[in-house]
């Protein structure tokens, strides 16, 4: 794999972003406690995927945190607040949307790129009530992480190369993709109604019911519940954790139940962190994920973060199969420009009970995210 080429491409992406002006979307207010604020980000990356036979070098949008734009409208009513959020991805070619046979369109926007069209009523005493396209209660439940390297490495290890297919021992493409065998069972975004409780000693409780309103001829129904706990004041430690269960029904498909969760612990004095995630689908498989991270102010520009992680999955495509992945990642913040540069390496392997021997694959992803 051409590491020098990847590093040079990463440097070019970072230089282009650093040359851009740094600004944040302005907030406009009225005399009645209302406000309008817009925001967004660009996250271009260079992807180099090696399937054991061929190497594929492509520019892509990092699916771990894709390029997007949105806005918030808020209006206070006494101690309560009515909010509306709109957010859409730009629809650039995704890092998990290319494979050996197709580069995909450089840009192709469709309504499935809508992330949030969401009305929320936040009350001081009774919690928050939401309706519209947005996150289900279980969305993000496997993402507890203090490492600071989520742009290059997180429990969703398919984000940086999940569309590619494994090759067999003879070099032929199989029908098994990286994404097929590296599930997280994290919750989706759907057209839903959702309730989030107020904070009870660090605990919040959520429940939602949703259906896929962005796809045609789809009758999927999902309902889920989640509990989260966060505490940054545990002496020298900070803790973040969550657990969720989700049930899905769809005509023509077998009903499923997912249980997933994560926990992260940070030692504040040293910047060392540990994150664990796991999940199970009753009609499919299971996985566990572990990550060790380190963050520190090594240079004046901003925090520097490193991590190493490991994923182990089983029974995700066929009974008795197994998947493994390990990765390393580094992220450098440049606070002045709201930029984070990153580079990540990940190795994927897969085996099943058939006579097919699958070749290992690996990917390098390098890029920069600019928030505005």
- Which residues in 183-285 belong to E strands, given as ranges? 189-196, 203-211, 221-234, 237-249, 256-267, 272-281
Task: Give tens-digit pLDDT for 362-372.
Answer: 999 999 999 99
The pLDDT, as a whole number, for residue 30 is: 87
Q: pLDDT band at residue 32, thresholds of 50, 70 and 90?
A: confident
3-state secondary structure 60-71: EECCCCCCEEEE
Which residues make Cβ contacts (< 8 Å) with residue 135, sequence separation at least 6? 116, 187, 189, 194
Residue 10 has which token pair?
């990463």
Residue 31 has pLDDT above 90, yes or no: no
Domains of the chain: total: 1
* Block residue for tokens 């089983």: 314
Task: Give tens-digit pLDDT for 113-170.
Answer: 999 999 999 999 999 999 999 999 999 999 999 999 999 999 999 999 999 999 999 9
Is residue 14 within 8 A of residue 29, CB to CB? The reply is no
Q: pLDDT band at residue 218, thresholds of 50, 70 and 90?
A: confident
CATH number at residue 134: 2.40.160.10
Residue 9 has pLDDT above 90, yes or no: no
Q: What share of the chain is helix, strand, coil (3-state, %, to 5)?
A: 10, 55, 35
- Residue closest to 262 by CA, chosen among 200, 330, 309, 294: 309
State the pTM of this model: 0.91
Which helix (H) or strand (E) element contains residue 172? none
CB neighbours of residue 354 within 10 Å: 12
Q: pLDDT band at residue 5, thresholds of 50, 70 and 90?
A: very low
Task: Give tens-digit pLDDT for 293-314.
Answer: 999 999 999 999 999 999 999 9
* Block residue for tokens 């504040």: 268
| DSSP class per residue in 126-166 | TEEEEEEEEE-TTTTTT----SS-TTT--S-GGGGTTTPEE
Average confidence (pLDDT) over 349-370: 98
More reliable by pLDDT, 111 or 104: 111
The pLDDT, as a whole number, for residue 104 is: 85
How many residues can be counted in the chain? Answer: 372
The pLDDT, as a whole number, for residue 24 is: 56
Task: Give tens-digit pLDDT for 186-209.
Answer: 999 999 999 999 999 999 999 999
Task: Give tens-digit pLDDT for 326-338.
Answer: 999 999 999 999 9
Residue 80 has pLDDT above 70, yes or no: yes
Q: What percent of the chain shows pLDDT beyond 90?
A: 89
Domain that holds residue 96: 3-371
Which residues make Cβ contacts (< 8 Å) with residue 143, sequence separation at least 6? 150, 154, 155, 186, 262, 277
Is residue 244 within 8 A of residue 137, CB to CB? The reply is yes
Residue 2 has pLDDT above 90, yes or no: no
Q: What percent of the chain shows pLDDT beyond 70?
A: 93
Residue 105 has which token pair?
């369109």
CA angle 118/120/122 to nearest 5° reads: 160
The pLDDT, as a whole number, for residue 330 is: 98
CB neighbours of residue 66 within 10 Å: 22
């Amino acid at each position: 794999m051409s590491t020098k080429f990847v590093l040079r491409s990463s440097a070019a992406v970072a230089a282009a972003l650093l040359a851009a002006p740094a600004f944040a979307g302005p907030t406009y207010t009225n005399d009645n406690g209302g406000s309008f604020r817009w925001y967004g980000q660009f996250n271009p990356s260079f992807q180099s995927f090696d399937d054991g036979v061929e190497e594929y070098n492509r520019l892509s949008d990092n699916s771990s945190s894709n390029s997007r734009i949105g806005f918030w409208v808020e209006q206070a009513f006494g101690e309560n607040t009515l909010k509306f959020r709109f957010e859409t991805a730009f629809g650039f070619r995704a890092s998990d949307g290319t494979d050996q046979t197709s580069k995909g369109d450089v840009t192709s926007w469709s309504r499935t790129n809508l992330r949030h069209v969401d009305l929320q009523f936040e009350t001081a005493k009774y919690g928050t009530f939401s309706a519209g396209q947005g996150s289900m209660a279980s969305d993000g439940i496997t993402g507890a992480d203090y490492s600071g390297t989520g742009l290059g490495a997180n429990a969703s290890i398919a984000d940086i190369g999940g569309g590619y297919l494994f090759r067999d021992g003879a070099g032929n493409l199989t029908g098994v993709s990286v994404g097929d065998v590296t599930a997280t069972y994290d919750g989706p975004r759907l057209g839903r109604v959702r309730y989030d409780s107020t904070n009870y000693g660090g605990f919040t409780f959520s429940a939602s019911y949703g259906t896929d309103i962005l796809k045609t001829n789809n009758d999927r129904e999902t309902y889920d519940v989640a509990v989260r706990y966060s505490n940054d004041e545990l002496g020298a430690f900070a803790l973040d954790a969550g657990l969720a269960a989700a049930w899905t029904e769809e005509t023509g498909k077998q009903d499923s139940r997912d249980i997933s969760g994560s926990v992260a612990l940070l030692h504040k004095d040293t910047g060392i962190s540990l994150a664990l995630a796991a999940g199970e689908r009753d009609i499919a498989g299971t996985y566990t994920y572990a990550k060790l991270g380190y963050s520190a102010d090594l240079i004046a520009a901003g925090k520097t973060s490193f991590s190493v992680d490991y994923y182990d999955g089983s029974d995700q495509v066929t009974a008795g199969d197994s998947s493994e992945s390990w990765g390393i990642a580094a992220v450098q913040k440049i606070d002045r420009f709201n930029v984070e540069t990153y580079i990540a390496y990940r190795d994927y392997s897969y085996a099943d009970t058939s006579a097919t021997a699958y070749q290992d694959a690996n990917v390098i992803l390098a890029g920069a995210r600019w928030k505005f």
